[in-house]
Amino acid sequence: MDHTLTIEGYGIRLRPVRMDDAAFIVWLRNLEHVKGRVGDSATDVAQQEQWLKTYFSREGDYYFLVETLGGLMVGAYGIYDKAGKTAVSGRWIIRRDVPAAIPSAILGFNLAFGALGLEELRASTVSTNLPVLSLNRKFGLEQVMIEPGASRIGGKPVDLVHFVLYPKEWAKARERILPLAKQAETQIREWERSQPGTPCVQ
């Protein structure tokens, strides 16, 4: 969906994905720590551009690029399959050397329950993706079921663990997480300053 939603905080920004992000998305989704943990995706830029072309015309699909305030791309996140007051949270990948996972999740959930007005956010995680399963629980997501062989990754069936998050639970979890997001912000700014050719960002 060709949306215009943007949100900033904790040293990062979520902004609408653009066609010229295709190469970064391919790189991101094919990182070693990502393989086997997200659904199969484009392996070259042309394929990704084709996917994005379809995405731009799909209603209820909000795909975000996660970048530092100075514009360095660090990840991606999506809220999709929006139907009324419910949607799916996913496509969440952050490069490993930047602690932007927590800030990006906070901003994403704030958008979901704020600007998008959702009352329910669903998520599905591959059963072997232990770090994200753990994070889901700490973020207040409630596990609703495990679906054996629900998806295929690398041609092999994988089990999916399904979760749901409600605004009330998110508000409680958010309070616990905020101090750590501020810790992450400090490190994100330091990482950004350490990147070659990066202008100073206040």
Partner 1 sequence: MTSHPTEDFLKKIADTLEAPGLKEMDDLTALPQWDSLAVLSLIAMFDANYGVNLPAGEIQQAGTVSGLWGLVQGRKGL
> Where on the chain is the footprint of partner 1 (CB under 8 A)?
94, 96-99, 101-102, 130-135, 138, 177, 179-181, 183-184, 186-187, 190-191
Q: Which is nearer to partner 1, 52 or 107 (CB)?
A: 107
Q: Which is nearer to partner 1, 88 or 94 (CB)?
A: 94
Shortest distance (Å) from residue 126 CB to partner 1: 14
Q: Which is nearer to partner 1, 20 or 97 (CB)?
A: 97
What's the rounded Cα separation, in Å, for the pair 49 and 36?
22
Full strand arrangement of the beta sheet holding 62-68: 7-9, 12-16, 62-68, 73-83, 86-94, 120-126, 156-165, 142-153
* Residue with token string 């989704």: 29
What's the rounded Cα separation, in Å, for the pair 67 and 17?
11
Two tokens, residue 202: 């206040």
Q: Which is nearer to partner 1, 22 or 94 (CB)?
A: 94
Q: Kindly write down the DSSP assignment for every residue of 10-42, as one continuous string.
A: TTEEEEE--GGGHHHHHHHHTSTTTTTTS----
Residue 64 burial (CB count, 10 A): 25
Are 70 and 46 in contact by the 8 Å Cβ rule? The answer is no
Shortest distance (Å) from residue 53 CB to partner 1: 32
Q: Which is nearer to partner 1, 43 or 186 (CB)?
A: 186
Shortest distance (Å) from residue 153 CB to partner 1: 20
